[in-house]
């Protein structure tokens, strides 16, 4: 069981698993530190307790039962007529009660969750009293929680580290975790002065023992080389008094989320650290999830970087795909599903990529709170060629760098389209693009080699066409005193009368109007050329969603 994650904040439940792509099955082991009268483990679209696919271990007071179950729209649990969880072993050990079982990626049961690439929302619950029968159980009446994991991982063995590898811990300085549910802690780490160029070849989490269930995710950012000095800081990332120069530390070096294993670079590539043109300042960001409001807990968690002075053949690079951070890309309110797409056009890749192209080996998807899915596809010759990365159960609360199951070669003239799915049913006002958590983003940070000068390949709708949209919608709703261009785009969106027609026209605009390309060099300057009023790439859809062969289970009564 190479993959494991604590499920609850107390560490009472731990899930471990392995993947058989040959059999299209997942083997899982659930450890319960103290088994009372049973446990619930399940999966649902976004971690809801309703309409969930469940596995339940329960006792009636005289006999124990194990079964495949499901919850309805009110959280009421029923035993499934088709049993797709195959119990292999149940055993009491010194560390707790262990359940070993397996399940196909896809069953033929419409009530079951299809396990696929991307985030899986795991739900869990504790049964503190006997159940006469399973239909007496409602998930809303027991202690429950949710955890997010990537269940399907690449099945390739990790590469061997070089013999001269060295370690560098970028960790929190023995901080006291605040007794609040959510904390983002920032710390500035200084690299040695005049550090020669090295290659980072691997990194992993370094979690303070006992805090495994509280440290939720960690990121390390390199500060801009253009900022000669960044003041020391250790405190809340949200503190309004923090040094403003921390905002110039945005270049992702490493990202880890709970349940993620060590991240290895390909044998031919490493991420440059030190040397000319680099910064000696790193920003560590640790997300603490402390729903039990534990006080006085100290932490020195962070990321352990493995680096070597023996440089590999290629420098690895990180490139931003998707949408520019701008309010001109907006999502109407009250939307169950709304799509926004960002383009990296053939003109930009033709201009900036070497003749042999680049090889993408990992990526990090990113949206804010309204994001529900992200998909980047590679287009060649006007036809979809392959999916670079996809997560249709994406959560902003679970962001890690994901290794691709196979590398993707992007050639000059190729097109990359990053499409994000949003839900704003709980919002009464439009959501514009921007840096704020209540604003939105649509980004895929792809990790690739060899490194090029192309650091950002993103787009947004042409602003002239957006102003035509504002003018048309205001006239349609009888507002002839349009203030288009006189106030900010954000204010113009908020002043619109939002109905179904307003949203449909905006969707049509984004799918047909010309775009402005940001084909940026690492200096933040555009590559030479005319990048405004570019046509949206014409694409023929030929890719189909991968289908797993479903395996039908059997009826199980005990």
Closest CA to 364 of 411, 424, 322: 322
Report how far apart, in Å, the C-alpha atoms of 264 and of each of 161, 208, 306, 394, 447 are.
9, 22, 9, 23, 12
Per annotation, catalytic residue among 27, 65, 98, 184: 184
**HEC states along 480-522?**
CCCCCCCCCHHHHHHHCCCCHHHHHHHHHHHHHCCEEEEEEEC
Q: What is the DSSP string of 206-249?
A: EPPTT-TTTEEEEEEEEPPTT-S-----EEETT-TTS-GGGGG-
The token pair at 350 is: 């033709």
Angle at 372 between CA 371 and CA 378, to 5 degrees: 90
Cα atoms in the Cβ-side hemisphere of radius 13 Å centred on 536? 17
Region at 192 (left for phi over 0; alpha for psi -120 to 50; beta for the rest): beta
Q: How many CB atoms lie within 10 A of CB 339?
A: 16
Q: How many CB atoms lie within 10 A of CB 228?
A: 10
Closest CA to 512 of 461, 441, 471: 461
Buried b / exposed e over 447-462, threshold 16 CB at 10 Å, is bbbbbbebbbbbbbbb
Q: Report d(CA 96, CA 79) in Å as an integer.
A: 26
The token pair at 241 is: 């008094």
Per annotation, catalytic residue among 366, 368, 393, 460: 366
Active site residue 307: no
H-only helix segments in 223-352: 346-352
Q: Across the strands, what pairs with 184?
A: 287
Active site residue 184: yes
Q: Are strands 454-461 and 317-323 parallel, antiparallel or unpaired?
A: parallel
Q: Across the strands, what pairs with 190?
A: 281
DSSP 427: -
* Active site members: 184, 366
């Amino acid at each position: 069981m190479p993959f494991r994650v604590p499920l609850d904040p107390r560490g009472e439940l731990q899930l471990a698993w392995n993947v058989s792509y040959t059999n299209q099955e997942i083997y899982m082991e659930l450890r319960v530190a103290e088994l009372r009268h049973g446990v619930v483990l399940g999966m649902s679209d976004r971690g809801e307790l309703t309409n969930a696919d469940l596995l339940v271990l329960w006792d009636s007071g005289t006999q124990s039962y194990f079964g495949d179950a499901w919850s309805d729209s009110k959280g009421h649990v029923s035993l499934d007529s088709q049993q797709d969880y195959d119990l292999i072993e149940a055993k009491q050990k010194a560390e707790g009660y262990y359940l070993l079982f397996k399940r196909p990626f896809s069953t033929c049961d419409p009530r079951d969750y299809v396990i696929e690439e991307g985030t899986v929302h795991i739900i869990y619950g504790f049964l503190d009293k006997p159940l006469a029968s399973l239909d007496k159980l409602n998930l809303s009446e027991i202690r429950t929680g949710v955890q997010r994991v990537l269940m399907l991982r690449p099945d390739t063995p990790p590469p061997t580290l070089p013999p001269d590898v060295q370690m560098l811990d970028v960790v929190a300085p023995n901080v006291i975790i605040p007794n609040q549910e959510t904390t983002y802690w920032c710390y500035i780490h200084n690299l040695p002065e005049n550090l020669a160029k090295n290659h980072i070849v691997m990194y992993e989490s370094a979690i303070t023992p006992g805090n495994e269930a509280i440290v939720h995710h960690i990121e390390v950012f390199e500060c801009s080389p253009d900022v000669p000095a960044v003041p020391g800081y250790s405190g809340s990332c949200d503190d309004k008094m923090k040094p403003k120069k921390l905002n110039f530390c945005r270049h992702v070096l490493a990202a880890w989320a709970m349940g993620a294993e060590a991240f290895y670079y390909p044998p031919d590539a490493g991420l440059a650290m030190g040397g000319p043109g680099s910064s000696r300042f790193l920003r560590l960001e640790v997300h603490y999830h402390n729903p039990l409001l534990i006080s006085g807990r100290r932490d020195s968690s962070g990321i352990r970087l493995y680096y070597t002075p023996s440089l590999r053949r290629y420098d690895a690079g990180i490139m931003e795909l998707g949408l520019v951070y701008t309010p001109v890309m907006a999502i109407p309110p009250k939307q169950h599903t709304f799509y926004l797409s960002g383009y990296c056009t053939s003109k930009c890749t033709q201009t900036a990529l070497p003749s042999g192209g680049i090889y993408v080996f990992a990526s990090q998807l990113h949206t804010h709170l309204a994001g529900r899915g992200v998909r980047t596809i590679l287009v060649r010759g006007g036809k979809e060629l392959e999916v670079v990365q996809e997560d249709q159960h994406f959560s902003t609360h679970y962001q890690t760098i994901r290794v691709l199951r196979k590398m993707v070669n992007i050639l000059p003239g190729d097109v990359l389209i990053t499409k994000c799915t949003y839900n704003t049913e709980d919002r009464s006002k439009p959501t514009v693009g921007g840096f704020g958590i209540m604003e939105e983003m649509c980004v895929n940070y792809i990790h690739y080699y060899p490194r090029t000068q192309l650091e950002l390949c993103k787009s947004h709708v042409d602003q002239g066409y957006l102003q035509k949209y504002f003018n048309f919608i205001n006239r349609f709703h009888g507002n002839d005193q349009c203030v288009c261009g006189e106030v900010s785009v954000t204010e113009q969106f908020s002043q619109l009368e939002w109905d179904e027609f307003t949203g449909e026209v905006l969707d049509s605009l984004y799918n047909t109007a010309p775009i402005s390309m940001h084909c940026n060099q690492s200096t933040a300057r555009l590559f030479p050329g005319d990048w405004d009023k570019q046509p949206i790439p014409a694409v023929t859809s030929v890719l189909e969603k991968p289908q797993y062969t479903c395996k039908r289970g059997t009826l199980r009564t005990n």
